[in-house]
Structure 1
Amino acid sequence: MKETRLTLAGAALNQTPLDWDNNLQNIKDAITEAITHNVDILLLPELCITSYGCEDLFLSPWLGEEAFDKLLQIKEWCVGITVCVGIHIWIDKQVYNTACVIKNQEILGFTAKQFLAKDGIHYEPRWFTEWPANQVGEFEMKGQKYRIGDIIYEEQGVTYAFEICEDAWRPNRPAERHMAKGVQLILNPSASHFALSKTDLRYRLVVEASKKYKCTYLYANLLGNEAGKVIYDGEVLIAQNGKLIKRNDLLCFKSVDMEVAEVTFTDSPVAEETIHYLPTIDENKELMAALSLGLFDYMRKSHSRGFVLSLSGGADSSLCAVAVAEMVRRGIASLGVLGFVAKTQLFSLKDAAYFDTLTKEQVACELVGRLLTCAYQGTVNSSDDTYTSAKELADSIGARFYSWTIDEQVKGYTSIIEGAIDRPLTWAEDDVTLQNIQARVRAPAIWMLANIKGALLLATSNRSEAAVGYATMDGDTAGSISPIAGIDKAFVRQFLIWAQKELGYQGLQYVNNLQPTAELRPAKEAQTDEKDLMPYEVLNQIERLAFYDRYSPQEVYNKLLEAGVADAETIKGWLQKFYSLWSRNQWKRERYAPGFHLDDYSLDPRSWLRFPILSGGFRSELNEIKAL
């Protein structure tokens, strides 16, 4: 073929389900920016008109009609450019996830997704129908007929086709067929959720595909906390013949993040300008970036006025506080002071002018003070160490800090019950009751602060606690959002040490010197989490083997024994405790506040791991292990 140069662009968009104004504005801004760069083909993410997270609304015909009306509106903006837009299409009561190709205000066709994601957090087969390979059909909408299916398109002599997100992750992916048909460019509009270290897999998927299929590969992902739980990193990749041409910075605070590259197509194309990118994954950096963007989008999309946090001085609440501080710091770095302030939609022009006069450090502390309110709620069982940890951390990041005690409220509830049952409550007989009332009494006042501020209450539960129900329902589980519910306690502890050393949060030095404890029993008992449960590293191993790798209890036992984690009797005791607590506490996991999906799996029964509330509790399986 003759040499052809095409200017390609991929744009990550921060979309929101059913937010037509936001979604269309981002699409229009992306098209406008692409036109100014003389782009030939612009790729936008999967289902970007409605947004990907509409869930069961995809089954409502009216949503499909509304989305198509928006598509016709978008079509008129595509002057002198080809734009690929994600939209779902209804045909004969079946719903298809498609990429629509618009060239110079004309719709050329719709490519339908062929493989639907159905593992982990994905439920696509509930809404969509897979399109058969190599088939092209036709449908009518609003008096006009359109092509749909496995279509190959052409731009200035260059042939191109699609893989839509999950399509590229399957062994018999569409690219296998596209290569035999001489396709030179593959476009991949995606809604690929964030998980720790996942960007490395995605990078290799794209770059290696461009080499194997001797093509140029353009990939564009969604960006931000789209619908509440799932965060998208906004990755844009352009690769040719195994060489990376463009890659953007992930998890930025922009509404539109675009990468543009001029690519040459010949019989034997060679990427002229490449970047040498070797993925070096730092999961601590990834977590901080995802948490901060996730919180920012959750706050602004829920129209909340910041966050309220019961800051105990322990690891979990300390991480939540630092995440808000980092949200401010990263937001300012990404958007600038005025851009960040404007995007929150919380401040007046007078406030914005004031913020603009401050130094970088001053404005970060000032904004944290406006957006994060913390309270330490002590009891007779609380220590000076945890108070100091909470106070020093709040002061160091600029958060508003309150402190009060809850002993009178605890005493009030205790005396009511003692009068009703006509006996005193004792630690020997009523241990769990006396621990839980302290955690529950902390909830009303902190909720009051959240209501007064019009803010989101941060729940501080982590994944390890959720696994065994080591949390008080309606106490420390209370909240509007549980940002660290998707990560385990061992990760939390090492992360805080990293944040102190690498990010400069010196206020963490106090919590990093403490042993995790609920501080609900009298101080003389020296209560610690791991004494109540088991070593967190072991708890995490059992949890992953049981519910990610899906081994039976006996297989888990064998693997722990083979690994030399402990002696046989100790492992048996840990497994007895883990599986018993796991089974008993599914009802708690059903009631936790929404949490972010941050790892390659989670315990969220609404989006990853379903388990019966009532069960036999692995009794037979545990008895078999006892007998070994």
Structure 2
Amino acid sequence: MGHLVTVATCNLNQWALDFEGNRDRIIQSIRIAKERGASFRTGPELEITGYGCLDHFLEADTYMHSWEMYSQIITHPDCQDILLDIGMPIIHKSVRYNCRVISYNRKIFLIRPKLWLANDGNYREMRYFTPWYRQKHVEDHILPVMIQEVLDGKQRSVTFGDAKLDGLETSFGFETCEELFTPNSPHIGLALDGVEFFTNSSGSHHELRKLDTRMRLIVEATKKCGGVYLYANQRGCDGDRLYYDGCALIVVNGDVVAQGAQFGLDDVEVVTATVDLDSVRSYRSAPSFGMQSTAVEKSYPSVEFSSASGALSGRSLEFDMTVIPTKARPLRYHTPEEEIALGPACWLWDYLRRCRAGGFFIPLSGGIDSCATSVIVHSMCRLVAEAAKNGNEQVIADARRLAGKAVEENPEWVPTDPKEFANMIFHTCYMGTENSSNETRARAKALANDIGSYHVDMNIDTVVTAVRKLFETVTGKSPQYKVHGGSQPENLALQNIQARLRMVLAYLFALLLPWVRSRPTGGLLVLGSANVDEALRGYLTKYDCSSADINPIGGISKTDLKAFIAYARDAFDMPVLNDFLTATPTAELEPITKTYVQSDEADMGFTYDELSVFGRLRKVEKFGPYSAFIKLYHEWTPRLTPAEIAVKVKRFFYFYAINRHKMTVLTPSYHAEQYSPDDNRFDLRPFLILPSFPWASKKIDEVVKSFEAKNQSLQQDKQD
């Protein structure tokens, strides 16, 4: 006979320090779980505070407010008669921990602190919390007075530590995010100790092509040990560079039975499934499981739990034909192009609605980077329109605030047309100079028309000339472009005048365009459009139009951006995007002559594909110049000679070093790539580096000389 239990997990769009908003979304998720018949609900990591509080986790207020919100949740009428697993930070014996709090009907059964903390890449958890190193150890935790009072004085303390929760019919064990990724994950020991339900409450961010790794680990957790695994995650921008990409999951014995969306504009998404515990017990009937289970030397401390009905299922022992286990289903994955279309778009929407700005502004250059940024905004408008058609009240309310005048004229207005909505909130501008071409101007205008943005077309030559004249008046010198016989400093300075003036003008227009349009909805957020490869190489002017409020493509490679534009051309029915794909990337900051057209890749000395390779070698594989050269020697020969590879390696590390200072002021960017050079958070390397890397360069030269001498000897042998 099947032993059926309905359980729930969720994706929540929490916001750091939005205590009341976070509380309400937690309560809503519990309400939905109960409506679907669930007797247990788990949620994301640190869901009461939001995961991304960073140094706010060092403030006592954060812990006090967390308990205040928790007291309101645990006593709420909609949060009774269901076993709850809620994430929050807790101070125990003057030490800060990242915890799960397990409760039922105004009684707290267990506080389970995180054992292994995420402390690399984007994460610095050991800056805020201490790991609970004492595995399988528990002790008493005295509850705050405010909690004792709301529990009517019936509970003074609670078990704190690494334990399992045992009920009348089953057993629960708890993991938190990073613990799943460790070599000896807690669920292994818990399974051998009889635990049948595992939870993983996570704050896992989106990176291109990363989801597969996470999903495989979750599936494997029960494919090997058996059991029911519930994965919960935050989904959305909680106030920083990361986008948490949901995908709440329920897995039974290695089979996926429920999966939430990876991207979306719903603030609350609850995933439920009805599971058969007898299938778990049958799955574990292998002799090897039994032998390893009996070989465990020390069991987990057990905290006993029983609900008012006596069993989580809440059902009688009579067979009920109307209740059936949820069937298995295949995992859903997005292509990288779809991830770019959806992740940054959702991130932009969260940022826009929460910062209370009136919309976005971007200088359109006619090139593929600003094009990609604009198409991501277009994708955002499409998602808003789709959510509005589906009746998402929060999206409709946020869109109406942004629409301003349109709502005044039509109080029932709903954002169902992406182009109409884009015209209200998205502003684009082409800032041409004498170095600009008619082709880029035409492409910018055509793109703005297809997206529906409010577009401005202007020339800024008079402003550029005024700055040049000022310099000439003060110094008596007149700098010239390289093609006109000028030196490299002259050429660079003249390019930078244009680039930096575009930034100044962008902020001017972003502040005043809503006023020009009689739209009192606040200033516009200026969007940057420098890709991750240009930042890595330093191929951008400090404080030019790459300096902005936020940058949705700052963590995406040029190669992926081109693939995304090709996808969007077809998926969004925008043939104009083909012109951007076939155009040569150029900054258009130098004069065009019959024999010279500025090219990004020629200026940098690398193709964009090569820059991506260097980025991964430097950050992901942690290679210095010499190790990178040896790796590329094996991968790039015979296409390139060792000498040519050496030139590229030295050139990359030289420009990476001399431009490292630019990363200190890099526009906050959507994090989507493992080799992001953003030193404010992800890439903690110094910004003053000896650019020649002299010792590594000498070792590279020795390898090149050795190869050339060997090759010369072989040639001589052939001649003889």
Scaled by the length of structure 2, what TM-score is found? 0.84
Q: Which runs of 5+ in 1 are unaligned?
A: none
Decide whether the 8 Å contact of 2:29 with 2:270 is kept in 1: yes
Structure 1 residue 509: deviation in Å?
Answer: 2.2
Partner of 1:151: 163
Q: Secondary structure at the match of 2:576?
A: helix
Q: Secondary structure at the match of 1:576?
A: helix
Structure 1 residue 109: deviation in Å?
Answer: 1.4
Partner of 2:214: 202
Decide whether the 8 Å contact of 1:254 with 1:335 is kept in 2: no
Partner of 2:316: none
Picking from 529, 533, 556, the partner of 1:487 is 556
Q: Secondary structure at the match of 2:337?
A: helix
Which range moved further: 267-276 or 85-94? Answer: 267-276
Letter in 1 for 2:546: T
Letter in 1 for 2:142: E
Picking from 557, 563, 571, the partner of 2:635 is 563
Structure 1 residue 168: deviation in Å?
Answer: 0.9
Structure 1 residue 299: deviation in Å?
Answer: 0.8
User: 1:23 and 2:22 equivalent?
Assistant: yes
Q: Secondary structure at the match of 1:12?
A: strand
Which range moved further: 40-49 or 567-576? Answer: 567-576
Partner of 2:130: 129
User: 1:319 and 2:372 equivalent?
Assistant: yes
Decide whether the 8 Å contact of 1:47 with 1:86 is kept in 2: yes
Partner of 2:321: none
User: 1:594 and 2:668 equivalent?
Assistant: yes
Which range moved further: 603-612 or 504-513? Answer: 504-513
Partner of 2:431: 377
Partner of 2:67: 68
Partner of 1:141: 143
Partner of 2:540: 471
Structure 1 residue 124: deviation in Å?
Answer: 0.6
Decide whether the 8 Å contact of 1:101 with 1:110 is kept in 2: yes
Q: Secondary structure at the match of 2:456?
A: strand
Partner of 1:619: 694
Q: Secondary structure at the match of 1:523?
A: coil
Which range moved further: 2-11 or 171-180? Answer: 2-11
Letter in 1 for 2:129: F
Picking from 496, 504, 527, the partner of 1:444 is 504
Which range moved further: 287-296 or 490-499? Answer: 490-499
Structure 1 residue 602: deviation in Å?
Answer: 1.6
Partner of 2:288: none
User: 1:523 and 2:592 equivalent?
Assistant: yes
Partner of 1:91: 92
Decide whether the 8 Å contact of 2:236 with 2:243 is kept in 1: yes
User: 1:409 and 2:463 equivalent?
Assistant: yes
Letter in 2 for 1:220: A
Separation (CA, whole Å) in 1 of partners of 2:331 and 2:275: 21
Decide whether the 8 Å contact of 1:337 with 1:356 is kept in 2: no
Q: Secondary structure at the match of 2:121?
A: coil
Separation (CA, whole Å) in 2 of partners of 1:204 and 1:460: 33
Partner of 2:618: 546
Partner of 1:286: 339
Q: 1:515 to 1:356 in 2, by over 3 A?
A: farther
Separation (CA, whole Å) in 1 of partners of 2:161 and 2:388: 40
Question: Cα deviation per residue 1:308-338 (whole Å; 9 max; x = unaligned)?
Answer: 0001111110011001110010222234376
Partner of 1:606: 680
Partner of 1:459: 528
Picking from 167, 173, 177, the partner of 2:185 is 173
Q: 1:476 to 1:500 in 2, by over 3 A?
A: same
Separation (CA, whole Å) in 1 of partners of 2:241 and 2:86: 24
Decide whether the 8 Å contact of 1:218 with 1:238 is kept in 2: yes
Q: 1:380 to 1:350 in 2, by over 3 A?
A: closer
Structure 1 residue 38: deviation in Å?
Answer: 2.2
Structure 1 residue 126: deviation in Å?
Answer: 0.8
Which range moved further: 556-565 or 220-229? Answer: 556-565
Decide whether the 8 Å contact of 2:388 with 2:414 is kept in 1: no
Separation (CA, whole Å) in 1 of partners of 2:6 and 2:471: 74
Separation (CA, whole Å) in 2 of partners of 1:422 and 1:56: 51
Separation (CA, whole Å) in 2 of partners of 1:18 and 1:280: 31
Q: Secondary structure at the match of 1:189?
A: strand
Decide whether the 8 Å contact of 2:4 with 2:325 is kept in 1: no
User: 1:343 and 2:408 equivalent?
Assistant: no
Q: Secondary structure at the match of 1:9?
A: strand
Within 5 Å, which residues of 2 pair with 1:240-259? 240-259=252-271
Rg (Cα) greater in structure: 2
Partner of 1:106: 107
Q: 1:357 to 1:605 in 2, by over 3 A?
A: closer
Question: Cα deviation per residue 1:502-557 (whole Å; 9 max; x = unaligned)?
Answer: 33222312212211000001111211001101111112112211222112212211
Partner of 2:651: 577
Structure 1 residue 279: deviation in Å?
Answer: 5.1
Picking from 596, 609, 616, the partner of 1:537 is 609
Separation (CA, whole Å) in 1 of partners of 2:572 and 2:334: 17
Partner of 1:302: 355
Structure 1 residue 435: deviation in Å?
Answer: 0.8
Decide whether the 8 Å contact of 1:200 with 1:279 is kept in 2: no
Decide whether the 8 Å contact of 1:253 with 1:335 is kept in 2: no
Separation (CA, whole Å) in 2 of partners of 1:79 and 1:358: 36
Decide whether the 8 Å contact of 1:338 with 1:352 is kept in 2: no
Q: 1:209 to 1:528 in 2, by over 3 A?
A: same
Letter in 2 for 1:170: T
Q: Secondary structure at the match of 1:114?
A: coil
Separation (CA, whole Å) in 1 of partners of 2:100 and 2:565: 42
Partner of 1:424: 478
Which range moved further: 553-562 or 233-242? Answer: 553-562
Separation (CA, whole Å) in 1 of partners of 2:652 and 2:498: 25
Partner of 2:175: 163
Separation (CA, whole Å) in 2 of partners of 1:445 and 1:338: 39
Q: 1:24 to 1:280 in 2, by over 3 A?
A: closer
Letter in 2 for 1:115: W
Separation (CA, whole Å) in 1 of partners of 2:219 and 2:241: 29
Separation (CA, whole Å) in 1 of partners of 2:598 and 2:544: 18
Q: Secondary structure at the match of 2:402?
A: coil
Q: 1:197 to 1:497 in 2, by over 3 A?
A: same
Percent identity (aligned): 29
Structure 1 residue 494: deviation in Å?
Answer: 2.4
Separation (CA, whole Å) in 2 of partners of 1:349 and 1:217: 49
Q: Secondary structure at the match of 2:598?
A: coil
Q: 1:348 to 1:306 in 2, by over 3 A?
A: closer
Q: 1:348 to 1:415 in 2, by over 3 A?
A: closer
Question: Cα deviation per residue 1:132-155 (whole Å; 9 max; x = unaligned)?
Answer: 210112111324312111121134
Letter in 2 for 1:526: V
- The alignment yields a C-alpha RMSD, in angstroms, of 2.0
Structure 1 residue 619: deviation in Å?
Answer: 3.0
Structure 1 residue 356: deviation in Å?
Answer: 6.8
Decide whether the 8 Å contact of 1:4 with 1:156 is kept in 2: no
